[in-house]
Every structure is written in C-alpha cells, then in structure tokens.
Amino acid sequence: MAILGKKVCVVLPAYNAAQTLEKTYRELPLDYLDLVLLVDDYSHDDTVDLARRLGLQVHLHPSNRGYGANQKTCYAKALESGADIVVMLHPDYQYSPRLVPALAWMVASGHYDLALGSRILGGTALSGGMPLYKYISNRFLTLFENFVTGAKLSEYHTGLRAFSRQVIETLPLEENADGFVFDNQMLAQALHFGFRIGEISCPARYFEEASSVDFRQGIRYGLGVLKTSLQYGLQRMGWRRFPIFDPQGRRLKARGESRQT
C-alpha cells in the first residue's frame, strides 16, 4: 500500500544492533514501505547475519566510520534506490517503528519537508525511562537551539526522522561531521535552507540493550550542538560563513566504500 504514490524507504544506521534489530523490524508496518535498508558500521556482533536472515537490503562499511558517516551512506543508498521519502529509524528499539507511516504521511502530504518523532511532546520521556540528566541536557540544548534559530521545535535529538527526497538532495550533507553531531547539523541545515519541519509525539523506551552514547560521547555531542548553533547564528547574521550552510557545499554522492550483501 503506497503512501500517496510515493516510494518510501526506511534506513537503519546500525552498529552492534543484534539484540534489538529483529524487534524493531517486526514492528515496521511493511505494507506501507517499499524498501528497508540497513547500513552496518563494522559491527562486532551478529547484526549483519540477522539483517540478512530478515531479508533486509544490507550495505557494509569495511571499517568503523562513525554514526554520521553511516547516515550519509544510508541516504545515498536510499536516493540510489529511487526513494521519494526516506525515514531514518534507529534499530535499537527506543523509538516506535509503528509510527514510521505517520511520519511518511506528513511528508507525502506536502505540508512538511521533514518530520520528527519527538520524545518530548506528550510528556512521556521520563516515564519511558529517559535518564534525568539526559532529559535536562535535552531540554537545555533544545532551548538554546530554538533561541538561536528562531524555531519552536520540541527537540532536535530524536532518532526517528522522515525526509523528502528534495531535502536530502539539497542539503550539503557531505560537509557534515561523521560523528553523532551529524544529526544536529542536518536539522540546522534544514532550518537554514527554509525547509518546513513537523513533529509528532513518539513514546521512547530505555532499557539495557538499547544503544546509548556514553558520558564522554554525550559531552562531545553537547559541545558539538552548541558549536553548530553558534555557527548558525553567525551565518544568519552575516558575520561568518560555514561549509555546512553553503548552497554550493558538497552533496551526497555514491558511497563507494560500502558494499551490498
């Protein structure tokens, strides 16, 4: 069952996701999806074997490149597949796969260019198990980002996102980092380029098997978010120019370093 005639591709950026991948996949409403694609960033567990058994299209990185590099490959491969709408979902089962069609519908409707599944809307983040320190840092960073960008998003840090093909083709994603801050840079770029962003409430689950950044990675990510926001502000005021906001910046190209299995 297509969504308004649009080809919908779900991409799963995976790293050591064997314990949660099947649960994530089994809850995807496949009748609405044309392709489920997984990019493995050199996992050390059974992620790849499991993905093959589930029948996913799998692409491998021959070395660990980082979360941002994984997403770059995800989006490049989705574009190569002819996708009109690309939904990025963390395969760690933190976010509800059942909401993937809802996000895709938001983009297919033409009302939004990208859509986010927010853990903050609905007020269930803490009851879903989000650690208090992560909740506080999420709220602080989001408040700061909204202040700088002038947007009114409930959060910038979700692992459930849907994009139109135009968004992915327009943003200079190759200019972004290969680490976790890629997510934040992508939203800052979308705001800078004037794309319309919608949100829906998404319950989140926190449990031992779910992937999570450690404290050091969290600090690095937070600093990266602040840096991206400041760059956005400086660019907006015309004081500085940065490659991630350059209309002529490097866009996605074929990811020759990955291979399909």
Q: How far is CA 260 from the centre of its chain?
A: 21
CB distance 88 to 103 below 8 Å: no
Average pLDDT estimate for 163-183: 97
pLDDT of residue 92: 95
> Which burial class, exposed, middle or buried, applies to 209 when counting CB atoms under 10 A from its CB (0-12, 13-18, 19+)?
exposed
pLDDT of residue 259: 62
User: Rounded distance, CA 129 to CA 165, Å?
Assistant: 34
Share of the chain above pLDDT 90, in %: 85
pTM, two decimal places: 0.95
Nearest Cα neighbor of 25 from 62, 1, 50 is: 50
* pLDDT higher than 70, residue 211: no
Average pLDDT estimate for 145-156: 97
DSSP 210: S
Structural domains of the chain sorted by starting position, each given as residue range(s) with its CATH number in brackets = 8-247 (3.90.550.10)
Q: What is the pLDDT of residues 225-255, one digit of tens each?
A: 999 999 999 999 999 999 999 999 999 986 6
Indicate the pLDDT class of residue 200, thresholds 50, 70 and 90. very high
Nearest Cα neighbor of 164 from 201, 121, 109 is: 109
User: Rounded distance, CA 114 to CA 191, Å?
Assistant: 10
Name residues whose C-beta falls within 8 Å of residue 132's C-beta, 6 or more positions apart in sequence.
Answer: 126
- Tokens for 18, please give them: 């064997």
Average pLDDT estimate for 68-79: 98
The dihedrals phi and psi of 197, each to the nearest 5 degrees, come to: -115, 130
Which segment of 2-6, 30-34, 72-76, 197-201 scores lowest on mean pLDDT? Answer: 2-6
Average pLDDT estimate for 186-199: 98
